[in-house]
Structure 1
Amino acid sequence: MSQKRVLITGAAGFLGSHLCDRFLAEGYFVIGMDNFITGDSKNLAHLSSNSSFLFIQHDVTNFINIEGDLDYILHFASPASPIDYLKIPIQTLKVGSLGTHNLLGLAKAKEARLLIASTSEVYGDPLVHPQTEDYYGNVNTIGPRGVYDEAKRFQESITMAYHRFHGLETRIVRIFNTYGPRMRLNDGRVIPAFMGQALRGEDLTVFGDGIQTRSFCYVTDQVEGIYRLLLSDYANPVNIGNPHEITIKDFAEEIISLTGTTQKVIYKDLPVDDPMQRQPDITLAKNLLGWEPKVGRAEGMKKTYDYFKNLTEAELHKSEHKDFSNYNK
């Protein structure tokens, strides 16, 4: 039997790099693609000598050409943190629209199955809790977060259009907050933000009053859910996340306890349209995929902290100064 081939976009990112590892472990030939806007080449450095891995530096909003057959495509190219998509709002919209369109065309030409990475942000600031896949969401289309939320909602729409009109094999995963090694320390998301502040001896910043909730899924659980969904026969969206909910205030105290630091929690104004609740209903994933998270938060956070505390001083204090002007055209 010939070796199956998979293309993973956003391969140098946090989730993308872990997916490369998983598919290589499963015996696939993996083609990783990234343009390094937010990805980091060090996330793939350990694969440089792997004969079953090929990396292509490319922006998926431009035409994509891949030599040879493809069995699967996983589209994970997109800024995923508020700091990123507020700096590059136009590129965020383009990668969700033009990039997805290009990959749908590639999947059609190669007769490949395409899985797209959607997000819990399609639910906006939800009026239904926990969030089920049949909830349509409460999203501000013109707010600052709309560039990410609407890019993902459009991505789902065009993917389903290709599925219905062209009969294309497609899968949609709605990813809830995920964490683990290789997260970027200064990307603005809750866990790397808290970890960075704790390791630098800074007070931990909570936005709002801290009673807003999040549910955190460890990366190996997330990858397992994505892998099972790809190989399933289900085309509609599926939530993959950990349903164990915690307030941001309580989570900050957990980080202080984990890191053994003496900082206090300080409070700042809540960003515009920041969701107050985020908890997946994973009934569908349990029934359809036989999937549920296995790694508890204490275990996962210990592994994540071990990764972050081994960063160099330069990495720990690194600030993002990249010129994004070319990506906002």
Structure 2
Amino acid sequence: MVRTAVVCGAGGFIGSHLVKRLKRQGYWVRGVDLKTPEFDPTAADEFRRLDLRDPDQCIEALRTPRGIPNEVYQLAADMGGMGFIHSAECEIMHNNVLVNVHMTHAAARLGVPRYFYSSSVCVYRDMATGEPEMTESGAYPAQPDNEYGWEKLYSERIALAYARRYGMQVRIARFQNCYGPEGTWQGGREKAPAAICRKVARAADGGEVEVWGDGSAIRSYTFVDDMVDGIFRLTQSDLEGPVNIGNPEYVTVDELVTAAAEIAGKRIRIRHVDGPVGVQSRNFSNRRIESLGWRAQWPLRRGLAATYPWIASQVAMMQRESVMP
């Protein structure tokens, strides 16, 4: 019997890649979002444009031609890079809480057996450089660095409360920064790897790029194929409670720029400017997801080598279009 899934947020970066993975696994998939994927036609069997802030549209999303789905993957969110997170606090809190309250409620009431929720490592506090790895329990006592983190932490608790009440199997992943081809690369919602690749692609050999802060903030970046593999493994597992998914390779923002420049074959100078930086450091344990046999297969340089040419081609296409008569 063919398994069925609804992917909420299927028009977004990770969601659109997840749809492809589920199709490869033999699923019948309905994608749901306010928008279709920006760079590639959806692989979903059916795609519905719905506003999941509306409780009635959440119910509509889950009533498919195949009946109530075996699995729901809730990735729909109003989100973006650090600039957007700091400038759109009200939109993030309002829109995302509505989506998660209504979608979790609809899934539980309709009897969805298995429900995946995409959280974020933004639920954690700021960490000092070199601090020991933080496990999932380190989110409490709660002290997220931004409102996006507070919203994610609250939405985790919503999902777990409904799991206790209705017996729905809930799986929660806390994502680290995700990147790869076909992701947002301009406009303010892009993540750091895409923003850096765009800046390097636009810069001349010997030119410079701007970096917010002093460039010393430490992050880990997870390639989209690894993230999707972690999502799928976790959802099929019996692993309850929040689970970190990330690549245990940490670099400073300046090192990220250097890596992108080397892949581009350019000499690039870095100019540090004021801007939202977020936490100074993050260092998380991946032992729970690794207990399922998952390991990050894409080191940063390999992932950037796959991502930079795609973003450079997008930059070149936009530049050509801007000079066309």
**TM-score, length-normalised on structure 1?**
0.85
Could you tell me which residue of structure 2 aligns to residue 235 of structure 1? Answer: 240
Aligned length: 305
Could you tell me which residue of structure 2 aligns to residue 196 of structure 1? Answer: 198
Q: Secondary structure at the match of 1:117?
A: strand
Q: How does 1:114-263 map to 2 (within 5 A)?
A: 114-126=115-127, 129-136=132-139, 145-146=146-147, 148-186=148-186, 187-201=189-203, 203-263=208-268
Cα distance in 2 for residues equivalent to 1:225 and 1:306: 25
Q: How does 1:72-87 map to 2 (within 5 A)?
A: 72-78=71-77, 79-86=79-86
- Distance change >3 Å, CA 315–CA 122, structure 1 → 2: farther
Whichever residue aligns with residue 176 of structure 1, its letter is Q
Cα distance in 2 for residues equivalent to 1:301 and 1:138: 35
Q: Does 1:266 align with 2:265?
A: no
- Distance change >3 Å, CA 139–CA 316, structure 1 → 2: farther
Q: Does 1:284 align with 2:288?
A: yes
Cα distance in 2 for residues equivalent to 1:313 and 1:93: 36
Cα distance in 1 for residues equivalent to 2:264 and 2:141: 36
Paired residues of 1:23 and 1:30 also in contact (CA < 8 A): yes
Whichever residue aligns with residue 125 of structure 1, its letter is D
- Distance change >3 Å, CA 82–CA 137, structure 1 → 2: farther
Cα distance in 2 for residues equivalent to 1:99 and 1:212: 31
Paired residues of 2:16 and 2:37 also in contact (CA < 8 A): no
Cα distance in 1 for residues equivalent to 2:294 and 2:213: 34
Q: How does 1:60-79 map to 2 (within 5 A)?
A: 60-63=52-55, 64=58, 65=60, 66-67=63-64, 68-78=67-77, 79=79
Whichever residue aligns with residue 233 of structure 1, its letter is D
**TM-score, length-normalised on structure 2?**
0.86
Cα distance in 2 for residues equivalent to 1:12 and 1:309: 22
Could you tell me which residue of structure 2 aligns to residue 303 of structure 1? Answer: 306
- Distance change >3 Å, CA 111–CA 140, structure 1 → 2: closer
Q: Secondary structure at the match of 1:209?
A: coil
Paired residues of 1:213 and 1:278 also in contact (CA < 8 A): yes
Could you tell me which residue of structure 2 aligns to residue 27 of structure 1? Answer: 26
Q: Secondary structure at the match of 1:205?
A: strand
- Percent sequence identity over aligned pairs: 26
Q: Secondary structure at the match of 1:310?
A: helix
Of 237-246 and 305-314, deviating more is 305-314
- Equivalent of 1:45, from 36, 41, 46? 41
- Tell me the C-alpha RMSD between the 2 structures: 2.3
Whichever residue aligns with residue 214 of structure 1, its letter is R
Q: Secondary structure at the match of 2:22?
A: helix
The Cα shift of 1:312 comes to 5.3
Q: Does 1:92 align with 2:89?
A: no
- Distance change >3 Å, CA 43–CA 87, structure 1 → 2: farther
Could you tell me which residue of structure 2 aligns to residue 323 of structure 1? Answer: none
Structure 1: 5+ residue stretches without partners: 319-329
Paired residues of 1:123 and 1:138 also in contact (CA < 8 A): no
Paired residues of 1:196 and 1:316 also in contact (CA < 8 A): no
Could you tell me which residue of structure 2 aligns to residue 56 of structure 1? Answer: 48
Of 244-253 and 102-111, deviating more is 102-111
The Cα shift of 1:262 comes to 2.9
Could you tell me which residue of structure 2 aligns to residue 326 of structure 1? Answer: none
